Structure 1
Amino acid sequence: MFFYLALITCVIAFTINFVLKGKPNIIDDEKVLILGASSGIGKQIALQYASRNANIILAARRTELLEQVKKECLALEKTKVVEVIKCDITNEDDLIAVVEKVKKVFGKLNTVIVNAGVINVLSFEDLLNNDKGIQGKDSDSSKAIDKIFKINTYGPIYAAKYFIPLLKETQGRFVVVSSLAALIAAPTRALYASSKHALMGFFNSLRMELADTGVSITLVCPGSVSDTDLRSSAIDKASSSATDNATPVTISEDKPKKEKKSLFSFLKITPAQCAKAIIEASDWRTKEVVVPRVYKVAVLANSLAPSLIELGAKLKYHFKK
């Protein structure tokens, strides 16, 4: 009963939104900055913008990967301007350097895509019981907590601090890649979900504050995306989501381990599909997008029947407690 009610409501809401939202605004010679463009979704965003003649600045920590993305963008022979700059989104000095790069190369800025994030895969209880070393780098759970909020929450906020002033000059678009976890929490994802919830709260408020400036704020909430290295960025461990083994392991950034398959595996989308949805959301200046769209039913059902969605989340993440 609740499922069908949620489905009908989603169909009605989607229809109304489609009728009212107008037309996409695709900018000729668009000046685009992508924060987090070295691989996965960010790389695909870069390639798709390059294929439509946009001028692009690629920013991330791993410049060797950015150079490869730049090479692939230029190989499309659609864009002539692709620049690379090293940037840690949690480092304000790096962001200031990117601002200067934008001013020097472009003079103005139309679109900012913030695609940076790390994940956790242990339950909070297991994380606290596992203070001997997080990913072989951090010494305790407090550092892991600090790290995930710095990257997932503070980093995008810092980006808004430095790039919104430039976007005001062009009535530009600020797009943040969030997560379905920002809308529906899940077991073994307490830190990740909370960092993304905070992110959503900030940018939903900022959107209202910027309403008279012409700057749009778009939040994109993907579900599971295949073939990305997000899992290898886990601040606690890289093995399965199950909590039967809380021993931390060293993680290879280039070869993330395979997840256990679940009933929900068919809902995964590719980085290219996700990138397409992100760019379309920017063009339409959409406030919030859930991809794939079928998850909108789950978001609404979470309000109507939260126990049902909690059960589904436990099944998805193989959580047996």
Structure 2
Amino acid sequence: MNRKNILITGASSGLGKGMAIEFAKQGCNLALCARRTEKLEALKEELLNINSNISVFIRPLDVTKQEDVFSVFNSFNEDFKTKNGTLDRVIVNAGMGKGASIGKGFANQNMQTAVTNFCGALNQMEAAMEIFRAQNSGHLVVISSMSAFRGYPRAMSVYAATKAGVRSLAEGIRADVLKKPINVSTIFPGYIQSEMTDSIGKPPPFMIPLEKGSKLLVKAINKEKANSFVPFWPWRFFKLLMPFFTLKMLRKF
């Protein structure tokens, strides 16, 4: 199915920016939002240089503010209507990776990650699905993580829990609209280079460059499968092994 008009949250950098560039190459019109508006302005110019035939709409957005999420999503929908189109796809991508071991004095950072990654994602899904239900069509894409399948120690504890939460939430929505012309896809990226991975220090295993990762993400999204692992190898293999990992193995992983 051809999804021409696409909304991406957290689009100012990392995977969001990378996906926007790949969709622009495919001739898609884009609605982009993030907290850092100056980066969105620069990205809009870059995208129009890539493909001058597309439309690019940008707005600032903090996904933890529910009223703002609904307002921005509805405004983008109206933008596409002015181009005789509809909002075809929403990619729930905005998130953060702050955090530390529970009980070590980083409660504020852990809560910020929890609220942004789960409650913020819920806000986005609510707003997107309200539009899709009204028009009886659309594709909801939720960017989860390979960390969604197990609990992890240290800085990954809260992050992994939020990604498990959005995975479950997306599956619930998928079941709810099973007989409707609305598709729901959950994407499980492995390690793809971004600002978040740059903050780790030592590069994690099996990490791929942002450009390659973005191409693979867009390819997976366009297939509209219920669940996709990006890249497929080795992460689909790890998914099969994860239930058998001991806690000692998880600490090292």
TM-score, normalization by structure 2: 0.90
Deviation at 1:158, TM superposition (A): 0.9
Give the partner amino acid of 2:97: I
Give the partner amino acid of 2:17: K
Give the partner amino acid of 2:225: T
Deviations, residues 204-248 of structure 1 (Å, cap 9, x unaligned): 11110011221111111112121x1225xxxxxxxxxxxxxxxxx
1:40 & 1:99 partners in 2: Cα distance?
A: 21
Q: Secondary structure at the match of 1:59?
A: strand
Deviation at 1:170, TM superposition (A): 5.3
Does residue 62 (structure 1) correspond to residue 27 (structure 2)? The answer is: no
Does residue 296 (structure 1) correspond to residue 236 (structure 2)? The answer is: yes
Paired residue total: 246
Deviations, residues 119-141 of structure 1 (Å, cap 9, x unaligned): 145222xxx233xxx5xxxxxx1
One of 257, 260, 265 as aligned partner of 2:202: 260
One of 150, 160, 163 as aligned partner of 1:184: 150
The match for 2:175 is 208
Deviation at 1:257, TM superposition (A): 4.3
The match for 1:167 is 132
Q: Secondary structure at the match of 2:195?
A: coil
Show structure 1 runs of 5+ residues with no match.
Answer: 1-24, 135-140, 232-255, 317-321
The match for 1:84 is 58
The match for 1:75 is 49
One of 182, 186, 195 as aligned partner of 1:229: 195
Show structure 2 runs of 5+ residues with no match.
Answer: none
State whether residues 14 and 195 of structure 2, in contact with CA within 8 Å, keep that contact through their aligned partners in structure 1.
Answer: yes
State whether residues 51 and 79 of structure 1, in contact with CA within 8 Å, keep that contact through their aligned partners in structure 2.
Answer: no
1:212 & 1:111 partners in 2: Cα distance?
A: 18
Deviation at 1:286, TM superposition (A): 0.8
State whether residues 220 and 230 of structure 2, in contact with CA within 8 Å, keep that contact through their aligned partners in structure 1.
Answer: no
Does residue 26 (structure 1) correspond to residue 16 (structure 2)? The answer is: no
State whether residues 114 and 177 of structure 1, in contact with CA within 8 Å, keep that contact through their aligned partners in structure 2.
Answer: yes
Q: Secondary structure at the match of 2:150?
A: coil
Structure 1 residues 89 and 257, CA gap change in structure 2 (3 angstroms): closer
Give the partner amino acid of 1:174: L
2:20 & 2:14 partners in 1: Cα distance?
A: 10
State whether residues 60 and 66 of structure 1, in contact with CA within 8 Å, keep that contact through their aligned partners in structure 2.
Answer: yes
Deviations, residues 73-121 of structure 1 (Å, cap 9, x unaligned): 0001253300110011111122122133223211220010111111145
Higher mean C-alpha displacement, 56-65 vs 283-292: 283-292
Aligned-residue Cα RMSD (Å) equals: 1.9
1:120 & 1:103 partners in 2: Cα distance?
A: 31
Q: Secondary structure at the match of 2:184?
A: strand
Q: Secondary structure at the match of 1:230?
A: helix
The match for 1:275 is 214
Q: Secondary structure at the match of 1:269?
A: coil
The match for 1:152 is 117
Structure 1 residues 95 and 261, CA gap change in structure 2 (3 angstroms): closer
Give the partner amino acid of 2:87: L
2:111 & 2:131 partners in 1: Cα distance?
A: 29
TM-score, normalization by structure 1: 0.72
Q: Quick check: which has more Rg, 1 or 2?
A: 1
One of 217, 220, 236 as aligned partner of 2:187: 220
1:221 & 1:268 partners in 2: Cα distance?
A: 14
Deviation at 1:149, TM superposition (A): 1.7
Q: Which has the higher helix share?
A: 2
State whether residues 117 and 230 of structure 1, in contact with CA within 8 Å, keep that contact through their aligned partners in structure 2.
Answer: no
Does residue 129 (structure 1) correspond to residue 96 (structure 2)? The answer is: no
2:77 & 2:185 partners in 1: Cα distance?
A: 23
Give the partner amino acid of 1:144: Q
State whether residues 51 and 78 of structure 1, in contact with CA within 8 Å, keep that contact through their aligned partners in structure 2.
Answer: no
The share of aligned pairs that are identical, in percent, is 24
Deviation at 1:59, TM superposition (A): 0.5
